[in-house]
Amino acid sequence: MKKILLISLTSIALIFATSCSSDADAAICGNCGDEKGTENCCKADAEKCEKCDKNKGSPGCCKE
């Protein structure tokens, strides 16, 4: 019983450790919402979302 509990807790900890990475957030530009370093990042003539003011359809856009 203790082994099963230990394995379960370890599995849960690994799931949270791998899914709560900040690498994905670091790759999104806070200004425009697109991926940093791409040609669409902070592009002056990009279509902006009316609600969130990010590049429309970008990963950081509210998508509304």
Dihedral of CA 26/59/56/35: which sign?
A: positive
pTM to 2 decimal places: 0.56
* Stronger pLDDT, 40 or 4, i.e. the higher one: 40
pLDDT digits (tens, 9 = 90+) for 13-56: 666 655 444 555 569 999 999 999 899 999 999 999 999 999 99
Q: Tokens 């530009």 correspond to what residue? A: 29
pLDDT (0 to 100) of residue 33: 95
**Comparing C-alpha atoms, which of 39, 36, 34, 38 is closest to residue 56?**
34
pLDDT (0 to 100) of residue 46: 94
pLDDT (0 to 100) of residue 21: 47
Q: Residue 33: which residues within 8 A CB-CB, separation 6 or more?
A: 49, 52, 54, 55, 58, 59, 60, 61
pLDDT (0 to 100) of residue 28: 92
Every domain of the chain and the residues it spans: 1-64
